[in-house]
Structure 1
Amino acid sequence: MLIDANLVAAAKRSMDFLPRGEAIEARRLNAVIRAPVKFLKKPQIDLAKGADRELIVAALALTADDDPRAAVGFWKGGLSEAFPAEDHSSVWLILAMNGAYRHVPEALDWFGEAGNVALTDEQLAWRARIALRAEKWAEVRSSIERMSPLAKNDPAWIYWYGRAERELGSPLEAEGYFERIAGEHHFYGRLAAEELGVSLRIPSRAPLPTEEEIAEVAAIPGLKRALALYRVDMRTEATKEWLWTIRGMDDRRLLAAAELARRNEAWDRAISTADRTVLAHNFYVRYLAPYREVLAEKARARDLDEPWVLGLVRQESRFITGAKSAAGATGLMQVMRPTARWVAQRMRMRNFSWTRLSDPEFNAAVGTYYLKHVLNQSDGSPVLAAAAYNAGPTRARLWRGTAPVEGAIFAETIPFGETRDYVKKVMANTVYYAAVLGITPTPLKTRLGTVTPRRSAEGVVAMQGEPVVR
């Protein structure tokens, strides 16, 4: 299980806690980790021993991580016959999950090979996702039906269950599912509303907080401490203090706190605090656009859609010019140093310096240049380009598959949870920014479009000189 979860170091350490005779020798485990396919071709083991069978499972998991079909070939080529029947299901699930992550259509059949064992919500989610890729709607529906009550009430699975019902000839039942989430302001809420023919309308702006309400929240010790910490650039500590303090606030106090943050140019806190309101809203704070003039100018220069650029920046940095990620991404558009150097060379910039990445204009120039580059490489698909911007172009090209994929299905089947969430939020942000800015609305489903198949050999080798961004 640890090997399958890519926790190789933990798998090695776990051997120290097993009784003598059950632990796998470090030498043999290392040999499997270094060359799992070589091990599977000539496994010098005794399959009557549990430890040796564990080595086979580890090698299969590692092989499936790179080539699920090859792993299945080894398993069906005689190895399965040496395993007890009760072990077959767990091995098939390892193979099926790896196949689903890599969008191998046969993975749906591999889930079937596991038999009638109870699947976890995560396994059922990936069974549903690979069924979505194959447009096998009955399997999508059955996967969601088997989820726990908590999982099946996630907006994603409410939406896809509705889609499955509609595709399977039950439009009235589908509408009932769409209606459950159509009033919610997120990716699947918007898609559900569009299925019902409901256009996006920004909620009426609640009365602005009075000066007395703002003064009241400004006097709260926790918010005073948070703002003081922001001023000395202790953002992590400031954010924790802020989040702890606004717990349990009603909508009026949240809006007052959001306005306090906006006045202090704590853009991230203003946006996130306004995002928490339940009944009384201010979407003009929820979708703030600091540095709009700079970003709009750079977007126009690169022929990029302004709401899309703002939606991406909102997700990347919440408009904090000094934002830095653990990986080293910096500034409004969270540009990595290798990316900045690559863009600077392409643009023939003079006096390039890393320190300029915190400058809004420079960061926007570099970020929009790179965003346009990945959009061009994505055949103009904003959903694919957003995935490429977050996870890297090579990964995004691999995720395109060999057949056209509906944009919403592409987003839901992205293997990386962080990138999957990122793409959904960027695309939802885009439609809300367009509405807030009074730009002619384009439905979310239209923006998502269709992701075309990758071309031959695309995604196998990164383009020469292309930067690694995440």
Structure 2
Amino acid sequence: MNLPRILTLIALSVACTATQAQPKGDDLILEMSQAFRQNNRAKLSQMLPQVRGHALEPWAAYWELRARLDTASVQEVQDFFTRYPGTYQEDRLRNDWLLLLGQRRDWTNFEAEYPRYRMGDDREVRCYALLVSHLRAGPAAPPAESEEVRRNWFLQRDTDDGCTLAASRLIGETTGAKRMTADDAWKRARTALEQNRPRAAAAAVQIVAPEAVPQFNELNASPSRFLTSRVTVASKVRKEMIALALIKLASTDPDNAASQLENKWGPQLSPEERDWVWGVIGKQAAQRLSNDALDSYAKVSRDAHLSDDMLAWKARAALRVPRGPRWKAVQQAIDAMSEDARADATWVYWKARALQAEGGDTRRAEALKLYQSIASVRGFYEQLALEELGQKIAPPARPAALTAEEKEAARLNPSLNRAVYAIALGLRSEGVREWNYATNLATPGGLPERQLLAAAQFACDREVWDRCINTSERTKAEYDVDQRFPMPFREAVIKRSREIGLDPAYVYGLIRQESRFVMDARSSVGASGLMQVMPATARWTAKKLGMTGFTSDQLNERETNIAIGTGYLKLVLDDFSGSMAMAAAAYNAGPGRPRNWRNGPVIDAAAWAENVPFTETRDYVKKVLANTTMYSAIISGQPQSLKERLGTVGPRDPAQPEPNRDIP
């Protein structure tokens, strides 16, 4: 279906205004989008009247007002809310407005507007709201609100005004029952610095010891120099600053940090501070795939002092020791995690494996219950749990067909239409955000499952494959395999895969993870097309394949992208002797890294994948392999085994050919 026809059909069905016109001014909408990115306020205001009546008018109006929100009057904002009631753009502007009111400490207007905020997914806005509630209630404020402030503050990737302000107020209280203390601030500082977020760490130090911020800046710049200099701060603060310096040092020089901790600073720190530093040292060793990682973790007095991330790396390290997994250490690490972390399918599965390895009827029964709690076809560990229960992976029964009424409701949904229109016009970011709002945030708890399936089908029918897949994936009771695992370009993908000896299910599993079948997808690092191929990699592969006259701009041509992507995948797969797990890691992170990651003991490929040091690549490998198993079941019509695809991973067999070091 060509673009003009798509836009015409969408404009005819969208119900943005009482009298919807044929699409007009698409070029003006795109021009306004560019002006918004350039913060050209004058141009936005001048152009807005020209796009009245366009299907994407709410976006144009949002850009115009958002660009000058800092100088807009309360009445102008309220007029916008009145003109576009119930739309994503109305609530998006309300989110922005609430943030501005919070920054201005305008609690009266904030309190009046917050109850109308539907999205409710902005942690900073929520922290402002919790602070307002606390200011109104005082000592009578429920403890759960303080706990929510603490949780949101710790979850923020970097510092923000709302959660920092709320935490500062609660920690600084001198009357009533203190719900947050200085220890919370120090823990926040340690967590942030461990995660290499020095601004967030400095903000936490500012709350609890503002006089120590210059010292924090020194230790952040050079922890070694700081640890050898005299620290002129109070005793409690001094110990905390030393712990922060050791954490910072451990991130770049863990051996030095361990030596300093053992030979100088350890006795001066509290048990929690010492354990935290050992946890960081152990995590760094585990991420380097060092066999010494568990030795560092063994020096921790209480696993409960460690963060979930440190405990996860302890469990991973215990899975890859040379003489087989240390199942007791795996179980201890998982048991010390927070309730939310323990509930993740990753750790449910590995705890079950640990219990199963321990033996005995009681432990086996516990393991069985854990497998049963996650077993399904929905993901990597869910599929592995299913196989532990003696079942293979096959597509579930399809749900009842959508009725004409269900399809029509989706077809007439204004937000879905605006989203698809924006995506078709090239405004993918705006379209995706509006789509997600329409299918999730616009309704408390999200849409009912039948409506989600109808929305997903609306996207599938228009070949907006990423929205089709992501929307359908949110259903729990109903599972539409055609929506979740579509096979666009089937003839081209299967023909090309079989010509070069690749499993087409593997190719589909990789494309689904790489691009969600978005042909014009482009990553932040320049990868392009269905198979997200980098230009340099494409040129190298084209030369290997004997493709003459290849240029990088051909990567967005479907047939060329498939030919280059599959050709590269085949070369990488052969280089790793047919290991789908290692080839997927190589496709994502380059072949040099998995060549190093494979060195060590021969282990279950699931344990190897879980130990991949890069979070993105670790998740990528697991998702590609789970996708592949499901696509294989669909293509073959037969139940499949993920475990058989995984096999084991270990050092290269010397009898095998040397790896192709030229592969980029």
Q: Give the TM-score, by structure 1 length.
A: 0.86
5+ long unaligned stretches in structure 2: 1-189, 441-445
Percentage of pairs with the same residue: 37
1:304 counterpart = 2:495: no
1:219 counterpart = 2:405: no
5+ long unaligned stretches in structure 1: 457-461
Give distance in 2, aligned partners of 1:346 and 1:306. 21
The change in CA–CA distance for 1:22 and 1:157 in structure 2 (over 3 A counts) is: closer
The change in CA–CA distance for 1:398 and 1:109 in structure 2 (over 3 A counts) is: same
CA contact (8 A) 1:3 1:61 kept: no
CA contact (8 A) 2:202 2:216 kept: no
Residue 12 of structure 1: CA displacement? 9.4
Residue 177 of structure 1: CA displacement? 1.1
Give distance in 1, aligned partners of 2:201 and 2:249. 13
Listed as ranges, the matches of 1:315-334 within 5 Å are 315-334=513-532
CA contact (8 A) 1:93 1:110 kept: yes
CA contact (8 A) 1:226 1:237 kept: yes
SS of structure 2 residue aligned to 1:108: helix
Give distance in 2, aligned partners of 1:56 and 1:189. 39
Residues 368-404 of structure 1: CA deviation (Å, up to 9, x unaligned)? 1211222123222101111111122222222223111
CA contact (8 A) 1:15 1:24 kept: no
**Residue of 326, 335, 351 corresponding to 1:136:** 326
Residue 396 of structure 2: aligned partner: 203
1:168 counterpart = 2:366: no
**Residue of 237, 250, 254 corresponding to 2:452:** 254
Residue 89 of structure 1: aligned partner: 275
Residues 385-439 of structure 1: CA deviation (Å, up to 9, x unaligned)? 1111112222222222311121111122222222222111111111111112235
Listed as ranges, the matches of 1:413-452 within 5 Å are 413-452=611-650
Amino acid at match of 1:268: D
Query: How many residues matched?
Result: 450
Give distance in 2, aligned partners of 1:71 and 1:351. 54
CA contact (8 A) 1:431 1:442 kept: yes
Residue 124 of structure 1: aligned partner: 311
Give distance in 2, aligned partners of 1:395 and 1:259. 39
Give distance in 1, aligned partners of 2:265 and 2:277. 9
Give distance in 1, aligned partners of 2:428 and 2:554. 20
Residue 80 of structure 1: CA displacement? 4.4
Residues 252-278 of structure 1: CA deviation (Å, up to 9, x unaligned)? 222222222122111111222222222
Give distance in 1, aligned partners of 2:216 and 2:636. 66
The change in CA–CA distance for 1:403 and 1:210 in structure 2 (over 3 A counts) is: same
More helix by share: 2
CA contact (8 A) 2:406 2:454 kept: yes
Residue 459 of structure 1: aligned partner: none
Residues 44-65 of structure 1: CA deviation (Å, up to 9, x unaligned)? 644898567865653343113x
Residue 156 of structure 1: aligned partner: 346
Listed as ranges, the matches of 1:39-438 within 5 Å are 45-46=229-230, 50=238, 58-64=248-254, 72=258, 75-76=261-262, 78-80=263-265, 83-84=268-269, 86=271, 87-116=273-302, 118-134=305-321, 135-169=325-359, 170-183=363-376, 185-247=378-440, 248-438=446-636
The change in CA–CA distance for 1:207 and 1:252 in structure 2 (over 3 A counts) is: same
The change in CA–CA distance for 1:183 and 1:441 in structure 2 (over 3 A counts) is: closer
Give distance in 2, aligned partners of 1:150 and 1:13. 26
Residue 106 of structure 1: CA displacement? 2.0
Residue 324 of structure 1: CA displacement? 1.0
Residue 311 of structure 1: CA displacement? 0.5
CA contact (8 A) 1:402 1:454 kept: no
Amino acid at match of 1:185: R
Residue 317 of structure 1: CA displacement? 0.6
Give distance in 2, aligned partners of 1:214 and 1:181. 32
Give distance in 2, aligned partners of 1:401 and 1:416. 16
Residue 312 of structure 1: CA displacement? 0.6
Give distance in 2, aligned partners of 1:72 and 1:359. 53
CA contact (8 A) 1:47 1:53 kept: no
Residue 184 of structure 2: aligned partner: none
Amino acid at match of 2:313: W
The change in CA–CA distance for 1:314 and 1:52 in structure 2 (over 3 A counts) is: closer
Residue 122 of structure 1: CA displacement? 1.8
CA contact (8 A) 1:46 1:52 kept: no
SS of structure 2 residue aligned to 1:273: helix
The change in CA–CA distance for 1:12 and 1:230 in structure 2 (over 3 A counts) is: same
CA contact (8 A) 2:318 2:329 kept: yes
